[in-house]
């Protein structure tokens, strides 16, 4: 596996904070969970109505989503398994090697 399969089960989630306290809740969650912000790239740039894309590790994604549920913050899973996407991105490359 590429990168020693370290991204297996990791997810990319799109959260859309609609209210001011949504953004505060989200920032508090960032302190609690080790998430990797994909867009925007700084918590200080998060604002209501603008999508936030974040990469959540496998062992945190379930509980992270349950926190979003409790706070009634809308979210969508953009990438359900990052490792698979990484393998796909490199897919052509490995076939090239074979060639």
Partner 1 sequence: SDSSYDYEVYHSLEEIQSWMHEMNKTHPSFIRLFSIGQSFERRPLYVLQLGKKSQHYKKAVWIDCGVHAREWIGPAFCQWFVKEALHSYNTDPVTRRLLNQFYFYIMPVLNVDGYHFSWTTDRFWRKTRSKISRYQCRGVDANRNWKVKWCEEGASSHPCSETYCGPFPESEPEVKAVANFLRKHKKRVKAYISIHAYAQMLLYPYSYKYATIPNFDCVESAAHNAVLALYSAYGVRYQYGPASTTLYLSSGSSMDWAYRNGIPYAFAFELRDTGYFGFLLPEFLINPTCTETMRAVKTLALNLLKKC
Contact track, partner 1, 67-86, x by CB under 8 A: -----------xx--x--xx
Contacts of 47 (CB under 8 A, 6+ apart): 17, 23
Nearest to 42 by CA among 60, 58, 27: 27
Tell me how far, at minimum, the Cβ of 57 lies from partner 1, in Å: 11
Contact 36, 87 (CB under 8 A): no
Q: Does 19 bind partner 1 (CB under 8 A)?
A: no
42 vs 70, which CB is nearer to partner 1? 42
Q: Which of 9, 53, 57, 68 binds partner 1 (CB under 8 A)?
A: 53
**Nearest-approach distance from CB 36 to partner 1, in angstroms:** 6
Query: What six digits make up the tokens of 18?
Result: 């609609």
List b or e across 9-43, with b for residues whose CB sees 16 or more CB atoms inside 10 angstroms: bbbbbbbebeeeebbebbeebeeebebeeeeeeee
Residues in contact with partner 1 by CB under 8 A are 2-3, 7, 12, 14, 36-42, 44-45, 47, 51, 53, 55, 78-79, 82, 85-86, 88-90, 92-93, 96
């Amino acid at each position: 596996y590429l990168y020693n399969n370290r991204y297996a089960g990791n997810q990319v989630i799109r959260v859309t904070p609609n209210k001011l306290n949504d953004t505060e809740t989200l920032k508090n969650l960032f302190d609690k969970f080790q998430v990797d912000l994909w867009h925007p790239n700084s918590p200080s740039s998060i604002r209501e109505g603008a999508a936030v894309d974040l990469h959540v590790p496998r062992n945190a994604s379930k509980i992270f989503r349950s926190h979003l549920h409790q706070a009634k913050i809308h979210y969508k899973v953009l990438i359900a398994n990052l490792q698979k996407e990484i393998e796909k991105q490199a897919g052509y490359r490995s076939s090239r090697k074979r060639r």
